[in-house]
Amino acid sequence: MAHDAATKIWGTGFYVPPTVVTNDDLAKRFDTSDEWIQQRSGIKERRYSTAEDTPAAMGEKAARKAIEDAGLEVSDIDTIIVASLSPDHDFPGVACFVQHRLGLPGTACIDIRNQCTGLLYSLATADAFIRVGQAKHVLVIGTEVHSTGLDFSNEGRDVTVLFGDGAAAMVVGPTDDPKRGFLTHCLRADGSGAKQLWIPAPGSSYFPHRAPKSMYEDRSMYPQMNGRAVFKFACTKLPEIIGEALAKTGYGQDDIDVLVPHQANMRINEMVAKQLGFPQDKVVHNIQKYGNTTAASVGIAFHEAKQDGRIQEGSLVMLAAFGSGFTWAASLVRI
């Protein structure tokens, strides 16, 4: 039966693997320095997974925390949506592996790609499912293992220094309180920028074999990025989409209590806040500790801001993200 109220965030959690990798650690593997990385991105360290911390395993750990935080039992979950650009396997999706780990046979499982914007696309999907009565308690997860797919040579250093591993989870469900929950989602993409940030191989566009041997020699199995184009895109599109979410809901910038942006680069987020005239102290930054955890980043930042008291019941929170695709999105939510 359709639910005519709203969808709120019932609980959140995250998990990052224990291994800390500092900028100095990376400088031992290729030509870079702590100073270069911090100046350009704000990153001081990131986490790298071990063999047992696969995307599904980390997703499960984050999920159990979010379910507990929501005051629910695992068995209350009826739908699982996982966003990841680094799935455990080509197929099936990560959601099926998480579902099995949680022991929830029969629940609907959905995988969403959309890279750094994946969590926001997943939340919008969960919200729509709940509003039409298709689902009640949706587990939304963003989870990534980047460290096993990065190029640790000088050629890949521009990308490699930016990324880290981790997982975040949110449990969303219905609320009868008309003042709470998601107020809008703005989802956008522009595929003309698809090759500005991507991993070409392996893939089914290669013939006759989807994993061409050449991918080892030409390094097409590693992420390729036009850093400057991505930087410019983010600084243009984030203020635009935040403005769109405000215009759709009738709120002003001053009404926002906390902005939780995707953690790709502290300089980008500082620039976006400046462009919007938004106070820096209302912007959540944790990229120093984790680097860019892609689909997990907004969820981890949200949870930490909740833990330190910046996000409270009643807070008006803007979530915003951009990434490969290009994709970008914003969601406005009353906690």
Ligand X SMILES: CC(C)(COP(=O)(O)OP(=O)(O)OC[C@H]1O[C@@H](n2cnc3c(N)ncnc32)[C@H](O)[C@@H]1OP(=O)(O)O)[C@@H](O)C(=O)NCCC(=O)NCCS
Asked if 321 and 298 count as a contact pair (C-beta separation under 8 A), the reply is yes
Closest CA to 186 of 80, 85, 329: 329
Selected from 5, 19, 20, 36, the binder of ligand X by CB under 6 A is 36
- 300 by DSSP, 3-state: which? helix
Buried b (16+ CB within 10 A) or exposed e, 48-73: bbeeebbbbbbbbbbbbbbbebbebe
Q: Does 158 bind ligand X (CB under 6 A)?
A: yes
Show the tokens assigned to 320.
């915003």
Catalytic residue among 96, 109, 116, 235: 116
Selected from 86, 114, 286, 292, the binder of ligand X by CB under 6 A is 292
Cα distances (Å, whole numbers) of residue 199 to 119, 140, 150, 212, 239: 20, 25, 10, 13, 27
| Element containing residue 182 per DSSP (H, E) | strand 181-189
Strands 138-144 and 79-83 turn out to be parallel
Q: Around Cβ 324, how many Cβ atoms within 10 Å?
A: 23
Show the tokens assigned to 216.
């080892």
**DSSP for 45-101?**
EEEE--TT--HHHHHHHHHHHHHHHTT--GGG--EEEEE-SS-SSSSS-HHHHHHHH
**Which residue number, 29 or 210, has a Cβ lying nearer to ligand X?**
29
Q: Is residue 3 annotated as part of the catalytic site, yes or no? A: no
Q: Does 99 bind ligand X (CB under 6 A)?
A: no
Q: Does 209 bind ligand X (CB under 6 A)?
A: no
Q: Does 161 bind ligand X (CB under 6 A)?
A: yes
Task: In angstroms, give the least distance from the CB of 35 to ligand X.
Answer: 9
Q: Does 272 bind ligand X (CB under 6 A)?
A: no
Report which residue's Cβ sits closest to ligand X. Answer: 227
* Contact mark string toward ligand X, 48..87, x via CB under 6 A: ----------------------------------------
Selected from 16, 241, 264, 329, the binder of ligand X by CB under 6 A is 264
Asked if 193 and 325 count as a contact pair (C-beta separation under 8 A), the reply is yes
67 residue type, one letter? I
Q: Does 9 bind ligand X (CB under 6 A)?
A: no
Strands 327-334 and 19-22 turn out to be unpaired
Binding residues for ligand X, rule CB under 6 A, total 19
**Which residue number, 107 or 294, has a Cβ lying nearer to ligand X?**
294
Q: Is residue 114 annotated as part of the catalytic site, yes or no? A: no
* Contact mark string toward ligand X, 295..334, x via CB under 6 A: ----------------------------x-----------
List the beta bridge partners of residue 260: 319
Task: In angstroms, give the least distance from the CB of 42 to ligand X.
Answer: 10
Catalytic residue among 23, 265, 269, 292: 292
Indicate the length of the chain as a whole number.
Answer: 335
* Contact mark string toward ligand X, 220..259, x via CB under 6 A: -----x-xx-xx----------------------------
**Which residue number, 32 or 49, has a Cβ lying nearer to ligand X?**
32
Task: In angstroms, give the least distance from the CB of 134 to ligand X.
Answer: 30
Q: Is residue 116 annotated as part of the catalytic site, yes or no? A: yes
Binding window for ligand X (CB under 6 A); candidates: 32-40, 72-80, 180-188, 304-312: 32-40
Query: Which residues in this chain contact ligand X in the complex, by CB under 6 A?
Result: 32, 36, 40-41, 116, 157-158, 161-162, 197, 225, 227-228, 230-231, 264-265, 292, 323
The residues annotated with a catalytic role in the active site are 116, 262, 292
